[in-house]
A and B are shown apart, each in its own frame.
Chain A
Amino acid sequence: ETGVTQTPRHLVMGMTNKKSLKCEQHLGHNAMYWYKQSAKKPLELMFVYNFKEQTENNSVPSRFSPECPNSSHLFLHLHTLQPEDSALYLCASSGDGQGNSPLHFGNGTRLTVT
């Protein structure tokens, strides 16, 4: 399998649930990212990991908790979310976190919080 794979594709969860989003990249990249895309808003950067180390936390609420066990895998743990957290969550990877290499996106997880 190639590229960036995200699971699940769709997720519906209640505000008291705990769930996790998974991302795996097969591109040999060293940086991985979580972005949030809400309707009629630009893509919002949430977290950046470079060589497994978190290098960016863009003032994301603590109900979102990232985990990067190695350069190929990235998780986003979700707990006590709010309805306004409903959005498309996109994982991406790049060669490095320096910006010269473009992002490659997964297919995203469409999250609905009820």
Chain B
Amino acid sequence: QKEVEQNSGPLSVPEGAIASLNCTYSDRVSQSFFWYRQYSGKSPELIMSIYSNGDKEDGRFTAQLNKASQYVSLLIRDSQPSDSATYLCAVYSSASKIIFGSGTRLSIRP
């Protein structure tokens, strides 16, 4: 089992709709979770950090964490074409390192 798993996509969502990105992780004691956005040919940029169970909202983005299910998700409301990118889930593991998933490619169609 991979330490951090994401569906590679591509996930195609119409403009204005909600995009839902999911991530599961294997290390039960992980405490810190991050979502990064990476445009093609660019480096990852941080979108959200979440540390406790529940929802955390920042503008059009909502991160959701469920530690019991070892599941973290990112919702993007009112999706825009500029949201088209690869979204990376990252987890700080008990081995004291940040592990990345392989990313989900999101495409927003006009």
Contacts and interface: CB of A to CB of B under 8 A. Distances in A.
Interface of B: 4, 31-32, 34, 42-46, 49, 51, 88, 90, 92-93, 96-103
Q: Which of B42, B43, B90 gathers the greatest number of chain A CB atoms within 10 Å?
A: B43
Contact of B31 (A99, A105, A107): A99
8 contacts: A42-B4, A42-B101, A45-B97, A99-B93, A99-B96, A100-B92, A105-B44, A107-B43
Closest 3 CB pairs of A and B: A99-B92, A43-B100, A105-B43
A87 interface: no
Given A104-B46, A105-B44, A108-B43, A99 B32 contact: yes
Contact of A103 (B31, B98, B101): B98
Interface of A: 40-43, 45, 48, 55-56, 58, 90, 97-100, 102-108
Nearest to A94: B98
A42 B102 contact: yes
A100 B103 contact: no
Given A45-B99, A103-B34, 4 more contacts: A56-B96, A90-B43, A99-B92, A107-B43
Contacts of A97: 96
